[in-house]
Amino acid sequence: MILFVGLGNPGKSYQNHRHNVGYMAVDAIADAFSFSTPKSKFQGQIREGKIGTNKVLVLKPETYMNLSGQSVGEAARFYKVPLDKVIVFHDELDLAPGKIRVKLGGGVAGHNGLRSLASHLGENFRRVRIGIGHPGDKALVHNYVLSNFARRDKTWVEPLLDAISKSAAFLVKGEDERFMTDVALQTKAEK
């Protein structure tokens, strides 16, 4: 079993924030593969489905970003999902908008959602880092991540989410490099 986790904050007022791109990514995957309708469980919204022959759960913690680890820890323990099968989609300031990187483990780089996950799970979960760019000044970061994507960002956000959903099977198979390459090729073709 694979657990896809989208990091974000619950509620309509947050839904288009840069900080919620993890939610957007897992919704795109669940919709593309016709996963079940969301159910409230583990302090979050969970959807079930299959990608290929693999059972996949999609979890969107509703504990707010800073407490995401509570929800994810509960789900991972309940389903006995090994850490390398927990794949977390999150926003990344240190990547250019539209770029993605996948890695296993690592630090939290000031990301409170990752900090919470690391405290509840340890650091050796897989991360899909989705670049949102940096506002250029550390003092502007808080307002930047907690604001909506600009209208011009739709030109890269929507194709990126579509590419992530079309390439998700590679993540399920543990083919992280191929996933990154496939997403890059698809988004390059969109430009």
Chain segment 154-181, per-residue pLDDT in tens: 999 999 999 999 999 999 999 999 999 9
Q: Is it the case that residue 189 has pLDDT exceeding 70?
A: no
Q: What is the pTM of this model?
A: 0.96
Q: Is 17 a catalytic residue?
A: no
Of residues 19, 90, 120, 134, which has the active-site annotation?
A: 19
Q: Is it the case that residue 62 has pLDDT exceeding 60?
A: yes
What pLDDT does 110 receive?
83
The C-alpha atoms of residue 145 and residue 133 are separated, in whole angstroms, by 10
Q: Is it the case that residue 33 has pLDDT exceeding 80?
A: yes
Chain segment 75-106, per-residue pLDDT in tens: 999 999 999 999 999 999 999 999 999 999 98
Q: Average pLDDT, whole number, for the chain? A: 95
The C-alpha atoms of residue 125 and residue 127 are separated, in whole angstroms, by 7
Phi, psi of 6 (to 5 degrees): -105, 125
Residues facing 148 on adjacent strands:
17
Q: Which domains does the chain have, with CATH numbers?
A: 2-190 (3.40.50.1470)
The C-alpha atoms of residue 159 and residue 185 are separated, in whole angstroms, by 11
Going by pLDDT thresholds of 50, 70 and 90, the confidence category of residue 190 is low
What pLDDT does 108 receive?
86
Residue range 135-152: mean pLDDT, rounded: 95
